[in-house]
A and B are shown apart, each in its own frame.
Chain A
Amino acid sequence: MTDDANDDIGGSGYSLEQLGDYLDGGRTPAIEAIEGNAECQAVLASLERFGSLSRELVSRDAAEHTEIDETWFSSLMSSITREVKAGRDIPLASADPLTTLSITEGAIRGLVRAAGDSIDGVIVGRCALTDTAPANSSTGGVAVDVSISVLLGTPIRAAAEAVRQAVYGALLKHTELLIDSVNVTVSDVHVIPAEGDAR
């Protein structure tokens, strides 16, 4: 784990490791500081999505697999804890001048990650949103960069295209961003040990 990964998540007073333990304990008894914190919830959602893989990765048996790279896993955890930070409020249109609607940057990054992770055989490693608007422009789009790891044997081009479409669709549905591009980079290939392999 890096220092990033051990940081207090969203001002909750809980670290990534503690959130992992909380998840493993079935989230009971419920801890208000975690359940009422958006950033903790985003981390828990990410951990749940690839829970089976993470359990394999941290288990002693799995560590014996040369295909499994714990550094990669730590780096992934660091990315997640960094990305869930609320960040800026991205405005949503409102007809009422006394009403301000927004979606946080952290929620959008979480959406991008969840969309990518929803594709079979894909784990999102890192995602970033970059403003493409010229300086001093009130309108302009964003470029979305997503790096993914693909399960060995998964058709890479098809997986990357499926991620691109899923991310684009999710952003179109939940944000009012002008999306200039969704760039998917396959940065890794992973292997999930078959049950009993490591024994």
Chain B
Amino acid sequence: MSSLSQQLENLVLEMPGVVAVFASGPLIARGALELTSGSASRVEVSGGDNDAYPDRIVVSVGLDAAAQAPVTATAIASGIRAALPEGALTEIVVRISSVTGLP
């Protein structure tokens, strides 16, 4: 799963309004995940038979206040969906964990 999650983290970070991608779980859980999967990505990719068709993708992001959170969340989900093979029945969870930079 490591290459897909890293690819998705890079993709999300490049989206307008996204200033950070946060770890979905606490530090200890993430450390364990890194040990077992070898992935240092903050995007959680789980389940499925292979890297291209995961069951679930969870991303927690920090946004800049200039971007509208609901619109940006939708754009992130669409971007992730577009990165998956057509027809993949992957559940995508986008969580806005912070909005910073209010004027």
Which residues of A are in contact with B by a Cβ distance under 8 Å? 10-13, 33, 35-38, 41-42, 45, 86, 89, 92-94, 96, 98-104, 106-107, 110-111, 114-115, 118, 170, 173-176
What is the CA–CA distance of A117 and B42 in the complex, to the nearest angstrom?
30
CA distance A93 to B103 in the complex (A): 26
- 25 A–B pairs (Cβ distance < 8 Å), ordered by A: A12-B27, A36-B23, A86-B97, A92-B69, A92-B70, A96-B92, A99-B77, A99-B92, A100-B93, A101-B73, A101-B94, A102-B95, A102-B96, A103-B99, A104-B97, A107-B96, A107-B97, A107-B99, A118-B102, A170-B99, A170-B102, A174-B70, A175-B69, A175-B70, A176-B70
- Closest residue on chain B to residue A92 by CB atoms: B70
B52 at the interface (CB under 8 A from A): no
B91 contacts which chain A residues (CB < 8 A)? 98-100
Tell me, yes or no, whether B68 is within 8 Å of chain A by CB: yes
**B residues engaging A (CB < 8 A)?**
20-23, 26-28, 42, 60, 62-63, 65, 68-70, 73-74, 77, 81, 89-100, 102-103
Q: How near does chain B come to A8, taking the closest CB pair, in angstroms?
A: 9
Check A106–B69 contact: CB distance below 8 A. no
Please indicate the chain A residues that have their CB under 8 angstroms from the CB of B63 in the complex: 174
Q: Which residues of B contact A45 (CB under 8 A)?
A: 98, 100
* Selected contact of B97 from candidates A38, A99, A100, CB within 8 Å: A38
A36 pairs with B94, CB closer than 8 A? no
Q: Which single member of B28, B89, B99, B103 contacts A111 (CB below 8 Å)?
A: B99
Bound-complex Cα distance A89 to B95 (A): 8
